């Protein structure tokens, strides 16, 4: 918790010069962004999927570091890769890595499509693109049997269900809400079938 508090302080300080999160979100970093990020680990822990050795996890569009930085702190046994194309955000993530002495993360300043990673056990993202766009980016760097994880609003999930979305039919969906938030969310998990 100490490192997470420092991380939130670093975001607020850097947000003065670099747009990392909206000004409205500064007061709810813990309740909105950190809690939301840790839902990824909670889901995998409930499904006993984090016990294997040498797990590799890529986070696409890492931005201000959600979910990757809280996950990195919470899961020190996992090797994380924060993929972010914007230079200022990568500089921020590298400073967080250094200041918090995070040994299990590598920052990659590229787009997911050209990041050079492959055979990831997990690929995650938050607020990057549509479900289909995000999945198509992720599957290029996931290993067979790997898992794609993302968060979308419950409203978006309902719209996809009405459209009879084929990708959503392959997904495991966990709906949740964060107590101070009015919106409801869904964690979506899609496995890449082994060859």
What pLDDT digit, counting tens, does each position of 15-40 carry? 888 888 888 777 888 878 888 898 88
**More confident site: 43 or 116:** 116
β-pairing verdict for 184-191 and 142-153: antiparallel
Residue 195 has pLDDT above 60, yes or no: no
- What is the rounded CA–CA span in Å between residue 131 and residue 170? 12
In this prediction, residue 153 carries a pLDDT of 87
Instruction: For residue 34, give both structure tokens.
Output: 């950190």
CB atoms within 10 A of CB 166: 9
What value, to the nearest 5°, has the Cα angle with vertex 128 and ends 71 and 49? 35
Residue 87 has pLDDT above 80, yes or no: yes
- DSSP, res 78: S
Residue 46 has pLDDT above 70, yes or no: no
- How confident is residue 177, by pLDDT bands cut at 50, 70 and 90? confident
Residue 67 has pLDDT above 90, yes or no: yes
In this prediction, residue 50 carries a pLDDT of 66
Give the pLDDT confidence of 131-171 residue by residue, as tens digits. 999 999 999 999 999 999 999 988 899 999 999 989 998 99
- What is the rounded CA–CA span in Å between residue 139 and residue 103? 26
Residue 116 has pLDDT above 60, yes or no: yes
pTM over 0.75: yes
In this prediction, residue 124 carries a pLDDT of 96
């Amino acid at each position: 918790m100490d490192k997470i508090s420092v991380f939130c302080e670093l975001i607020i300080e850097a947000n003065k010069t670099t747009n990392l999160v909206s000004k409205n979100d500064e007061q709810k970093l813990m309740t909105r962004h950190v809690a939301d990020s840790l839902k990824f680990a909670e889901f995998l822990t409930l499904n006993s999927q984090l016990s294997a050795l040498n797990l590799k996890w890529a986070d696409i569009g890492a931005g201000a570091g959600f979910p990757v930085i809280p996950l990195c702190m919470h899961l020190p046994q996992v090797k994380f890769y924060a993929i972010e194309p914007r230079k200022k955000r990568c500089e921020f993530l590298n400073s967080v890595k250094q200041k918090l002495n995070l040994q299990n993360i590598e920052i990659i300043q590229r787009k997911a499509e050209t990041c050079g990673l492959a055979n990831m056990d997990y690929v995650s993202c938050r607020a990057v693109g549509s479900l289909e766009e995000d999945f198509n980016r992720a599957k290029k760097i996931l290993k067979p049997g790997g898992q794609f994880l993302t968060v979308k609003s419950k409203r978006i999930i309902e719209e996809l269900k009405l459209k009879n979305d084929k990708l959503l039919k392959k997904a495991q969906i966990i709906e949740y809400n964060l107590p101070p938030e009015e919106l409801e969310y869904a964690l979506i998990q899609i496995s890449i079938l082994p060859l």
